[in-house]
Amino acid sequence: MEMEAVAQIMGQGVDPFIFRVSLFVLALFVGYYVVWSVTPALHTPLMSVSNAISGVVVIGALIAVGVDLAQGASMGSKILGTIALTLASINIFGGFMVTQRMLAMYKKKN
C-alpha cells in the first residue's frame, strides 16, 4: 500500500504522454522568453539556426533507416528514412554553416 502511494507521488502511474506534454509546454515557455531576447539585427540568423536545429528530426530518420528487416520491418521505412536523413542533413549542415557565415560578418566598429 505504502509503496503504491510513493509510486503515485513519483508519477509512475502517469502516462508517458503526459510527461511529453509537460516537457513540450515548458519548452514553449522557454522558447518564448529566449526568442524575445534575440536582437532584431539577428533575426535572419535566428531563422537559419532554427532550420539547423529542426534538423534534429534526424533522430527519427536514423531510427527509420535502422529498422530491422529480419524482424519484419518494412523496406519502405528504410528507403523513406534514407531520404529523410538526407534532407535533415541538408538542414543541419546548410543551417549551421550559413548561420556561421552570416555571424562572421557582424562586426563592431574598429
Partner 1 sequence: MDANIEAILYLISGVLFILSVRGLSSPETARTGNVLGMIGMGIAIIVTIVGLGEFTDPLTIGMIAGGIALGGGIGALLATRVPMTDMPQTVGMLNSFGGMSAVLVSVAAVLSPADFNIVDVATNAISMGSSIETSLGVIVGAITFSGSVIAAGKLQGVISGAPIVFKGQHPLNALLTIAALVMIGMFVVTGDATWFWAVTALAFLMGITLIIPIGGADMPVVIAILNSYSGFAGAIVGFTLGNTALIITGAMVGSSGAILSYIMCKAMNRSFISVMLGGFGGEVAEGAGGEVETRPVKQGNADDAAFVLKSAGSLIIVPGYGMAVAQAQHAIRELTDELQAKGVSVKFAIHPVAGRMPGHMNVLLAEANVSYDDVYELEDINSEFSQTDVVLVIGANDVTNPAAKTDPTSPIFGMPVLDVENAGTVLFIKRSLASGYAGIHNPLFFEDNTMMLFADAKKMVEDIVKAL
Neighbours of 88 (CB within 10 A): 19
Would you say 1 or 98 has its CB closer to partner 1? 98
Asked whether position 38 contacts partner 1 by CB under 8 A, the answer is yes
Would you say 7 or 69 has its CB closer to partner 1? 69
Asked whether position 11 contacts partner 1 by CB under 8 A, the answer is no
Q: Is the dihedral of CA 36, 40, 43, 49 positive or negative?
A: negative
Asked whether position 14 contacts partner 1 by CB under 8 A, the answer is no
Asked whether position 10 contacts partner 1 by CB under 8 A, the answer is no
Cell of 26: 515548458
In the region spanning residues 55 to 74, those forming contacts with partner 1, defined by CB under 8 A, are 55-68, 71-74
How many helices (DSSP H) and strands (DSSP E) are in the chain?
5, 0
For the bound state, the minimum distance from the C-beta of residue 1 to partner 1, rounded and expressed in Å, comes to 27
Q: Are 78 and 65 in contact (CB under 8 A)?
A: yes
Side-chain half-sphere exposure of 27, counting CA atoms within 13 A: 6
Would you say 1 or 29 has its CB closer to partner 1? 29
Asked whether position 6 contacts partner 1 by CB under 8 A, the answer is no
| Binding-site string for partner 1 from residue 77 to residue 106, where x marks contact by CB under 8 A and - marks none | xx-xxxxxxxxxxxxxxxxxxxxxxxxxxx
Q: Are 19 and 65 in contact (CB under 8 A)?
A: no
